[in-house]
Amino acid sequence: MKKPTQEQIQRMCTRKRRYRTQGDALDAALLAGVERQRSAYRCAVCQQWHLATAG
């Protein structure tokens, strides 16, 4: 598998908020009222969770 570039890492990880668990990420989406538009994914870079825009 090809390693992500620094730019991709920044886009998928370092520019995003981190959550320790999937539950934490989904709770944050719920609090923001955007749970329908967001999904949580496990980050390959930091091994924590981020929210992605669904679709």
Binding site for Zn ion (CB under 5 A): 13, 43, 45-46
Distance between CA atoms of 55 and 19, rounded to whole angstroms? 21
Type and span of the H or E element at 50:
strand 49-53
Nearer to Zn ion, 37 or 41 (CB): 41
As measured in angstroms, the least distance from the Cβ of 37 to Zn ion is: 20
Nearer to Zn ion, 27 or 52 (CB): 52
As measured in angstroms, the least distance from the Cβ of 48 to Zn ion is: 6
Backbone torsions φ then ψ of 51, nearest 5 degrees: -95, 135
